[in-house]
Amino acid sequence: MSMRKWMWALLLLIPVIELFGFILMSDWIGAGKTLLLMILTSLIGIAMLQFEGRKVLMDAKQEMERGKVPGRKMVDGLFVFVGGFLLLIPGFVTDLIGFTLVFPLTRPVYRLFFLGWLEKKMRNGSITFYRRPK
């Protein structure tokens, strides 16, 4: 399936899943508490995003000051950004994925899969990196 078809599928599927989750949670704890819980998870997520985002930036800056390329920190920064975006979208599934992307203990799992995917794309020629001549 092409990337464009995957994007359309996700664009249609995510709201359906989130609505289903909202209805289930509303039946379980009530609509008001469900709405409050969604707002609370977004606020906690925003706070985590700010804290972890600053931490990733500081770590990247320290690595650059030591003369190292902050490759892993750049990937972590990408995950924190995507996780923060998902936390801003109302819903429980996106919040769960967003929290695991922002949370430093679960981020390495995503990094492992992402770097494996990136390596595969580089091997088959889908992604090419060019170096500038010195």
What is the DSSP track for 38-67? HHHHHHHHHHHHHHHHHHHHHHHHHHHHTT
Choose the weakest-confidence range: 15-29, 30-44, 65-79, 88-102.
65-79
Integer angstrom CA distances of residue 118 from 76, 113, 124, 125, 128: 14, 9, 10, 11, 10
CA angle 82, 110, 75 (to 5 degrees): 60
pLDDT of res. 30: 92
Q: What pTM did the predictor assign?
A: 0.74
User: How does pLDDT run across 52-76, given as a tens digit for each residue?
Assistant: 888 888 888 888 888 877 778 888 8
Using the predicted structure, report yes or no on whether residue 131 has a pLDDT greater than 70: no
Using the predicted structure, report yes or no on whether residue 103 has a pLDDT greater than 90: no
Using the predicted structure, report yes or no on whether residue 132 has a pLDDT greater than 80: no
CB 81 within 8 A of CB 56: no
Using the predicted structure, report yes or no on whether residue 126 has a pLDDT greater than 80: no
Task: Give me the count of residues in the chain.
Answer: 134
Q: For residue 134, what pLDDT band results from cuts at 50, 70 and 90?
A: low
